[in-house]
Structure 1
């Protein structure tokens, strides 16, 4: 479950929710309290194993929005879109939280740098 203190909540009442895909076994999405530190339109992607840069565009695995909320100083995890929307609600990725493209665009418009984010199992 993902929780934000943003227009998607009023107190503890959920006003908006989205289906998401999370990290698979061995690449689990980190849980805890975080803060959004990066927001990008049309981001470039980087392959997690070989570092190949994937340019912005329809084949980019990050979709057209990126909302970064976690980093260990080397790796970064965030919310982003995907060209594979049929995989929503499955644990198949590398720690990031993938969302349908229209959903991540809506979320992008509801949050700002510094918005707290709670990621709960």
Structure 2
């Protein structure tokens, strides 16, 4: 539920990955979990953003209406690591990071609410940004980049229709993480999304399952 225009953040360049072909699958592959679940801190991470052609943005997955926002893109020269995979379990409301067959991290997340469900399937990370800036699609209010921004400290996009995107992002509303409150994006505590950002790269596989 977040939107944003771009307020220029230092001269950093955006990282954009153009996958050969990423086709969401109706039934995402099943991946075994081998980690005990940590206690979830209830928190929420709503995100809706509109991606603009020259400045792709973070967004959500609205079924009735696409919300807008624009995020500042920041440089990232990381290459995709074929052995790393991110698995999102919507029923658990957790994200698991795999290095081969081993789970190396697990984070609680907020997922899409009814009518704005997070899309399931197999994807790849296509955009990564530090401190995205967000503009409210209706009021036009600009939310500056930073920890208190609706998009938090990081943006990691993995789904797009060519105009809009869905992805992981931070949130200042940590009490809502673990609930279904977003417009499709996956909200995380800022401390967690920073860790996830450093564990993945453009091209890293993302599997979202019910």
User: Residues 109 and 178 of structure 2 are in contact (CA less than 8 Å); yes or no, is this contact kept in structure 1?
Assistant: yes
Is 1:55 aligned to residue 135 of structure 2? Answer: no
Counterpart-to-counterpart distance in 1, 2:150 and 2:208: 21
Partner-residue secondary structure (3-state), 1:66 = strand
Q: CA RMSD in A?
A: 2.1
Q: Structure 1 regions of 5+ residues with no counterpart? A: none
Within 5 A, what are the aligned runs for 1:1-121?
Answer: 5=85, 8-47=97-136, 49-50=137-138, 52=140, 53-121=142-210
Larger relative contact order, structure 1 or 2 (CA cutoff 8 Å, min sep 6)? 1
- TM-score w.r.t. structure 1 length? 0.87
Which structure dedicates a bigger proportion of its chain to strand?
1
| Count of residue pairs brought into register by the alignment | 118
Counterpart-to-counterpart distance in 2, 1:39 and 1:83: 19
Counterpart-to-counterpart distance in 2, 1:42 and 1:51: 21
Partner-residue secondary structure (3-state), 2:199 = coil
- TM-score w.r.t. structure 2 length? 0.52
Counterpart-to-counterpart distance in 2, 1:9 and 1:58: 27
Q: Structure 2 regions of 5+ residues with no counterpart? A: 1-30, 32-83, 87-95
Partner-residue secondary structure (3-state), 2:196 = helix
Counterpart-to-counterpart distance in 2, 1:75 and 1:97: 15
Runs of 4+ residues deviating >3 angstroms: 10-13
Q: Which structure's CA Rg is the greater one?
A: 2
Counterpart-to-counterpart distance in 1, 2:178 and 2:102: 22
